[in-house]
Amino acid sequence: MNQIKSAPEQLEFQGLGRRSVVADFDGGTITSEGGALLLRELDQRSGILNRFAACFIDRRNPAYREHPVYRLVAQRVHGLCLGYEDLNDHEHLRFDPLFATLCGQHDPIGARRNRVADVGKALAGKATLQRLESTPAIDAQADRYHKITHEPEKVRKFFIEHFLRHYSRGKPAKQIIIDLDATDDPLHGNQEGRFFHGYYDTYCYLPLYAFCDGYLLAAELREANIDACVGADDVLERIVNGVRGRWPKTRIIVRADSGFAREWLMRWCEDHRVDYVYGLARNRRLRRAIGKPMREATELFASTQSAARVYEELTWRTKNSWSRSRRVVAKAEYIAGKENPRFMVTSLSAEEFPAKALYESLYYAGGEMENRIKEQQLYLFADRTSSSTMRANQLRLWFSTVAYLLIHELRQTALVNTELATAQCHTIRSKILKIGARVTVSTRRVVVHLASGYPYQKLFSQSLRRIQLAFP
């Protein structure tokens, strides 16, 4: 007996003059992610997600496998790019034919599923994605439910390979500057490795990041009961070896704040022919050493009533911790009625980088890294480390890192010299990726009818052309 389909419920709203305003849920297959086709185009041409998926081992029986590793990885990464931070979101996203198209599902409406329960569900649900993230560090073949595992060292190499492949379009750079920084990742449960950090006044992880000109080279999740620079030598060794293996003549400079000005890390840089500029924590000895330039800055402020800076060169050695004397640059600054001294220790010569240029042109620019970390943690959900194990939370951090790489590559390739050239990912998401569209799927085509009123049509078309030219 055929069921009679009832008419959709009509919703009534406040009228508009003489006109009534009504709505119903009979608009057809409509998505809010129309602009994400740019991400798909970029990924398909550049192979970013394919290379990341190659860092996983799949031991599932092919006869029972519904979703290949690439599709699961793409589903997770595209979800983060589009603002879907939780696995629960995929219980709804798996019905979206455009999202399925982004993830490489050749049957975007799920019409050919063998299992009755999965008809109309083209993508994996939250349970499958959760198993992907929570695979323990054991032989996945011996585990009944967790058959996909990732290889951490391959993932770490993937980030460096991505940088070498895409930075300056793969051409050897004359010089690169690696920025190191640690930040807090607050925890609100009983996750493995949680510790209370006195400075941040909370239970947290202490992830370590390495960037180069906006490209993310490393993202390491760490317990918070350590010094901020612990493990920085391992990260640098991996990056330096990768860069020199491909670009042997490239000069490498490391830049970081005072938390990294440790004897052992400076010695590592010196022993490996890596230049550095680190902030140096102030103390009474350093303050006394810049007494004269600070008085000059104070007098200059009194006469101009504006911030005054005087730079000073020091040959400096600590009483106990340093093995030798090093160049220290001091900025004696007086602003708003108070002293604001800053110090840097560096291996760079005064002839190449005079004191003022070292601070204003080189060291100060490192603050941009904080914006990139904020971008990843707040807007790509790198702080969603709510799994019980550190291994699973590290993988979550890496998923967010790959989402960042995809957005950053879109910014570098398609949006350069446009009004969104320096936009953060949440702005790119709202203005470029979130486009309302009607989707029709036939045997031969997936047609996406983007909203006619979309205000950035010219920019969108230009971005597509740029991607296609950059990756022919």
Q: What's the rounded Cα separation, in Å, for the pair 292 and 56?
A: 60
Instruction: Quick: pLDDT tens for 287-331.
Output: 999 999 999 999 999 888 889 999 999 999 999 999 999 999 999
Type of residue found at 180: L
Q: How far is CA 98 from CA 2, 42, 79, in A?
A: 31, 16, 12
Per-residue pLDDT tens over the stretch 214-266: 999 999 999 999 999 999 999 999 999 999 999 999 999 999 999 999 999 99
pLDDT of 1: 43
Token duo for residue 285: 């000895």
Strands annotated E in 27-160: 30-31, 56-58, 148-150
195-197 and 202-205 beta bridge pairing: antiparallel
CA torsion sign for 134, 140, 145, 149 is: positive
Q: What is the DSSP letter of 146?
A: -
Per residue, the 3-state secondary structure of 400-444, as one string, reads HHHHHHHHHHHHHHCCCCCCCCCCCHHHHHHHHHCCCEEEEECCC
118 pLDDT above the threshold of 60: no
CB 373 within 8 A of CB 392: no
Tally the residues of the chain: 472
**366 pLDDT above the threshold of 90:** no
Q: Cβ contacts of residue 295 below 8 Å, gap of 6+?
A: none
352 contacts: CB under 8 Å, gap ≥ 6: none
Rounded distance between C-alpha atoms, residue 262 and residue 264, angstroms: 6
Worst-scoring range by mean pLDDT, 49-63, 104-118, 267-281, 341-355?
104-118
> Are the beta carbons of 101 and 95 closer than 8 angstroms?
no
Per-residue confidence band for 29, with pLDDT thresholds at 50, 70 and 90 = confident
For residue 370, what pLDDT is reported? 86
pLDDT tens for each residue of 179-224: 999 999 999 999 999 999 999 999 999 999 999 999 999 999 999 9
Q: Any idea which residue has 């599923």 for tokens?
A: 113
Looking at residue 5, its pLDDT comes to 56
Q: What pLDDT, in 10s, does the model give residues 414-455?
A: 999 999 999 999 999 999 999 999 999 888 899 999 999 999
For residue 65, what pLDDT is reported?
Answer: 83
Query: What pLDDT is attached to residue 14?
Result: 92
Predicted confidence (pLDDT) at residue 471 exceeds the cutoff of 60 = yes
Amino acid 24: pLDDT: 86
CATH number for the 153-379 domain, one of 3.40.50.720, 3.90.350.10, 3.40.190.10, 3.40.50.880?
3.90.350.10
Query: What is each CA distance from 214 to 1, 119, 172, 365, in whole angstroms?
Result: 62, 42, 17, 12
- Per-domain residue ranges for the chain? 30-150+388-470, 153-379
Residue 448 and residue 41: Cα distance in Å, rounded? 14
Question: What integer best gives the mean pLDDT of the chain?
Answer: 91
What are the distances in angstroms from CA 49 to CA 41, 59, 165, 168?
12, 19, 14, 20
What integer is the mean pLDDT of 461-471? 95
For residue 324, the one-letter residue type is R
Residue 129 identity (one-letter amino acid): L
Tell me, what's the pLDDT at 116?
Answer: 47
> Under 8 Å CB-to-CB from 373, ≥6 apart: which residues?
181, 183, 209
* Residue-wise pLDDT tens digits, 143-179: 666 788 899 999 999 999 999 999 988 899 999 999 9
Q: Can you give the pLDDT at residue 117?
A: 52
Tokens of 40: 């798909």
Distance from CA of residue 135 to its chain's centroid? 23
Q: Which tokens sit at 43? A: 């990924």
* 91-to-81, 127, 275, 451 alpha-carbon distances in Å: 17, 9, 49, 25
Judge residue 18's burial from the number of C-beta atoms within 10 Å of its C-beta, 0-12 exposed, 13-18 middle, 19 or more buried.
Answer: exposed
